[in-house]
Amino acid sequence: MAAVRTGSEIALNRFAVVIVLIVTLIFLAPIYWITSTAFKPRNLATTIPPTVVFEPEISPFVKLFTKRAQLRSAPTPEEYAAAPWWERLVFDGGEKVVRSGKGEVQLSGYPSRFMNSLIVAITSTVLAVGMGTFTAYGFSRFKVKGEQDLLFFILSTRMLPPVVVAIPMFLMYRAVGLNDTHWGLIILYTAFNLSFSVWLMKGFIDEIPKEYEEAALVDGYTRMEAFFKIVLPEAATGIAATAVFCFITAWNEYAFALIMTNRRAQTAPPFIPSQVGSGLPDWTVIAAGTFLFLLPVAIFTFLLRNHLLRGMSFGAIRK
């Protein structure tokens, strides 16, 4: 027979629910603020008190993807009527879209920076998780001399904030020609995420019984075949969880991207704040860039949500 809850237990549960709701609202408030600002007209972005009810528009996204200049004079009715519908949105904000001598629309730097973020984050995540999985397997399955010291040394790479080593890394990169290159950022992010990947994956692999591999070896499998056909499928949830955290870290990194890149390999985080518009800061454009920047991480985490929840309860960092 189920135990009858007392009044104090019911009150405590309700109080816990209220606390969870308050904390959830606190965490969701910035996301709502960025999302709503991304669809606001420019004149409503900084009103006091904030404008909650408004007619959404996509002009901030048009401005985000195009180069703009301040209008010196209002367009003529013929020019306004001949312009595409999306260009009229820019006209309404007192700006014009910059075109080349051939009349082609000049794109802003955001699409290339966004693509740079994808290239760097995905590549560094694959490398960090891949090397971390192999390293963790070695520590988990074999007796390594000085294992604890090696694991501590690997973890020590995360003990300093990135900005402490940014200047030495900048000087080293300049000497070897890796400044403002994709591979320069990929190497940095991989090295930075590798320690986290090794420690997290070791906890996951430790939870997989060794008897599975021993049975496979008895059946004639090689050690590598046992690893790929037995260990990796069992550790899939751990790999997914590790990949999510490594991807988020690489995707959101700001300090190294600001110092180590300029144009060719610059990622979105240092580029978005530079979109202040002509004249006063255009917060709607910055919000639009931030909103689009949030989508890949949100989609990636959503797709791996089941693996992520299972993975967090599957492995644990020990000692």
| pLDDT (0 to 100) of residue 317 | 46
Is residue 268 located within the same domain as residue 165? yes
160 and 279, same domain (yes or no): yes
Are residues 114 and 80 part of one domain? no
Same domain, 136 and 195: yes
CB 213 within 8 A of CB 226: yes
User: CATH code at 115?
Assistant: 1.10.3720.10
End-to-end CA distance of the chain: 41
Same domain, 183 and 117: yes
* 262 shares its domain with 124: yes
Q: Is residue 120 a part of any domain in this protein?
A: yes
- Does the residue 104 lie in any domain? no
Ranges in the chain, pLDDT < 50: 1-2, 278, 315-319
pLDDT tens-place string over residues 25-76: 999 999 999 999 999 888 888 888 888 888 888 888 988 888 887 777 777 7
Residues 145 and 78 in one domain: no
Please provide the DSSP assignment of 62-98 as one string.
HHHHB-EEE-SSPPPHHHHHHS-HHHHHHHHTTEEE-
36 in any annotated domain: no
Q: CA-CA distance, 95 to 84, in Å (whole number)?
A: 14
Given CA atoms 228, 230, 231, 233 in this order, what sign does their dihedral have?
A: positive
Residue 1 lies in a domain: no
Q: Does 161 fall in a domain? A: yes
Same structural domain, 72 and 205: no
pLDDT at 130: 94
Give the total number of structural domains in the chain.
2
User: Has residue 216 been placed in a domain?
Assistant: yes
According to the model, what pLDDT value does residue 19 have?
93
Contact 101, 259 (CB under 8 A): no
What per-residue confidence (pLDDT) applies to 1?
43
SS3 99: strand
Do 302 and 223 lie in one domain? The reply is yes
* In a shared domain, residues 91 and 178: no
- What is the span of the domain harbouring residue 161? 110-312
Give the per-residue pLDDT at 108.
84
Residue 188 in any domain: the answer is yes
Single out the residue of 298, 250, 19, 13 nearest to residue 120, CA to CA: 250
At residue 118, the pLDDT reads 95
What was the pLDDT predicted at 318?
Answer: 47
**pLDDT at residue 12, rounded to an integer:** 85
DSSP 288-312: HHHHHHHHHHHHHHHHTHHHHHHHH
297 neighbors 251 (Cβ within 8 angstroms): yes
In a domain, 256, yes or no: yes
Same-domain status, 81 and 161: no
Query: Residues 116, 145: one domain?
Result: yes
